[in-house]
Structure 1
Amino acid sequence: MRGKGEATLRANRMEAFSDGVLAIIITIMVLEFKVPEGDDWNSLIELGPKILSYIFSFVYIGIYWNNHHHLLHMVRTMNGRLMWLNLLLLFWLSLIPFTTAWMGDSHFAATPTALYGIILLLAASAYWLLQRGIFNQHSHDPHFVKLIGKDWKGKLSPLLYLTAVLTAYVSSWISGFFFVLVAVVWFVPDKRIEQALHNKEN
């Protein structure tokens, strides 16, 4: 029978692996930048769409890193299912550099922007599955179940991503607005998890 210490140790290993993958994802996005051919500000301005798409993605990766860190502190029993769900999340996140580059190179054309939204939607779905897998380990705690049941972020985000995908063919600016809106919603780590961790420590 595995003890809590062993579960924590394995969760720490999964977190360290995930941190490394997220760092590589950001590095890949940075390497997409090419030095401008000119030597004036206009040459830099021409990279505007790529810089903006990079900022979008950097913020998103940062949000996932922050919330993922909090989430793994809730693990009671590490198992193969959680590890595969975590890999599923990392798989979708690993595609962000590709869609980021395509969106920036195309100056936020409809299809690249829509694909960017689809990848974010799939990553959010994978995060939700990982979250449910971890939260189910606490299903015997009525207070925890009541607290975690208030998942308005998780319910709102897929709708916003889907709206961003659909509106990409109307205006990339409208689509971008919904991307920003989701980022704002998740910028502060999930208060439910922070409250649960606080109760757990006390």
Structure 2
Amino acid sequence: MGKTRLEAFSDGVLAIVITIMVLELRVPEGGHDLAALRPLLPVFLSYVLSFVYVGLYWNNHHHMLHATHRVSGRILWANLHLLFWLSLVPFTTHWVGESPNEPWPAAVYGCVLLSAAIAYYLLQGSILAHEGPGSTLARAIGSDWKGKSSPIVYALAIGLAFVHPWMSYALYVLVAIVWLVPDRRIERRLDSPGREVDTQ
């Protein structure tokens, strides 16, 4: 089956996730200067981090599907699994923003990131199984050290939340920075001579 509806639905869900997150940014009460914004700094920083993560998933999801030619029922369910965990990002973002120094919000935030990373890996695996080892995506991914190491860092961060939450946040930021470094494997593969033409 074609992939157009899957892409459109996923884009819509991620757009709603970002919209819900930004709606949690409230105007400060009882103040009209910059000092009134200071108590909102944790909320804003948690929003920025989560916005970056959702943007990273959108970007990588886009590139992965661009290298995919057709989808199966298994891929559709794997995609819904990923979107489920990403839909929880606004909840955990708000909880972290309201209680940045508490261990459980930091740990649950990490659990959602870990679950989303696993879901993305399963989606990627479903596509690879459907398209075969010689597919454009398989050749582009290679060893995928980022995808394999990120869940390990998330798991470590979840444990560190009970030592000090800000140690967890530092690791979440570190993973985001690693993924922000441009990774053009799929773009290079799609732009290389002799690539398969996607007509979907």
Same fold (TM over 0.5): yes
The farther-off stretch of 101-110 and 54-63 is 101-110
CA, structure 1 residues 156+52, in 2 after alignment: closer, same or farther (shift >3 Å)?
same
Q: Which residue of 2 aligns with 1:12?
A: 4
What residue identity is the alignment partner of 2:149? Answer: L
CA, structure 1 residues 144+65, in 2 after alignment: closer, same or farther (shift >3 Å)?
closer
Q: 2:122 matched to 1:136?
A: no
Asked if structure 1 preserves the Cα contact closer than 8 Å seen for 2:99 and 2:105, the reply is yes
What residue identity is the alignment partner of 1:19? Answer: D
Q: Which residue of 1 aligns with 2:176?
A: 183
CA, structure 1 residues 21+168, in 2 after alignment: closer, same or farther (shift >3 Å)?
same
What residue identity is the alignment partner of 2:88? Answer: L
The alpha carbon displacement at 1:154 in A equals 1.2
Cα distance in 1 for partners of 2:6, 2:139 equals 28
CA, structure 1 residues 136+195, in 2 after alignment: closer, same or farther (shift >3 Å)?
farther
Task: Among all aligned residue pairs of Structure 1 and Structure 2, give the percentage whose two residues are the same amino acid.
Answer: 54
Q: How does 1:138-177 map to 2 (within 5 A)?
A: 138-141=131-134, 145=138, 148-177=141-170
Cα distance in 2 for partners of 1:82, 1:118 equals 23
Q: Over aligned residues, Cα RMSD in angstroms?
A: 2.0
What residue identity is the alignment partner of 2:177? Answer: V
CA, structure 1 residues 104+24, in 2 after alignment: closer, same or farther (shift >3 Å)?
same
Unaligned runs of 5+ in 2: none
Q: 2:26 matched to 1:39?
A: no
The alpha carbon displacement at 1:190 in A equals 4.3
Q: 2:84 matched to 1:91?
A: yes
Q: Which residue of 2 aligns with 1:26?
A: 18
Structure-1-length-normalised TM-score? 0.88
Cα distance in 2 for partners of 1:145, 1:20 equals 27
Moved over 6 A (4+): none
CA, structure 1 residues 177+78, in 2 after alignment: closer, same or farther (shift >3 Å)?
same
Q: Which has the higher helix share?
A: 1
Q: How does 1:112-131 map to 2 (within 5 A)?
A: 112-131=105-124
Asked if structure 2 preserves the Cα contact closer than 8 Å seen for 1:89 and 1:127, the reply is yes
Cα distance in 2 for partners of 1:142, 1:133 equals 13
Asked if structure 2 preserves the Cα contact closer than 8 Å seen for 1:74 and 1:134, the reply is no
Asked if structure 1 preserves the Cα contact closer than 8 Å seen for 2:108 and 2:158, the reply is yes
Cα distance in 1 for partners of 2:136, 2:51 equals 35
The alpha carbon displacement at 1:77 in A equals 2.5
Cα distance in 1 for partners of 2:58, 2:99 equals 27
The farther-off stretch of 53-62 and 170-179 is 170-179
Structure-2-length-normalised TM-score? 0.89
Q: Which one of 68, 74, 92 corresponds to residue 75 of structure 1?
A: 68
Q: Which residue of 2 aligns with 1:4?
A: none
How many residues are treated as equivalent by the alignment? 194
Asked if structure 1 preserves the Cα contact closer than 8 Å seen for 2:67 and 2:136, the reply is no
Cα distance in 2 for partners of 1:12, 1:142 equals 19
The alpha carbon displacement at 1:74 in A equals 2.0
Unaligned runs of 5+ in 1: 1-6
